[in-house]
Amino acid sequence: MLKVIAQKTSACPTCGSEMIQKSEARLILAGMVMMASVGICFFVRRFFAPGILLGLTGFYLLVWATLGKARWCRSCKKFSGQNGL
């Protein structure tokens, strides 16, 4: 089964330009997997720095998916939920 993922657009509350919306489920899944990669650095010390970077990036994706409602402004480069976060 192929599923078409369409990007929804809306207006940015900050600058009024186009905002795109990504799939919240995909962002949450990617964030969780990236945060789980921090566990690798406990077993292989060589992966400490990449594990920390992946963990921080995963945390950012989780925040973007939950607080930012997976929306991103192309012009002012901010994520904003309905509350004007």
Point out the least confidently predicted range of 22-26, 38-42, 79-83. Answer: 79-83
29: pLDDT strictly greater than 90: yes
Q: Which residues contact 36 (CB under 8 A, 6 or more apart)?
A: 58
- The pTM for the full model equals 0.70
* Mean pLDDT, rounded, for 34-59: 86
Helices H / strands E in the chain, number of each: 2, 3
Q: Which residues contact 79 (CB under 8 A, 6 or more apart)?
A: 64, 68, 70, 71, 72, 73, 85
Question: What pLDDT does residue 56 have?
Answer: 92
Question: What pLDDT does residue 75 have?
Answer: 77
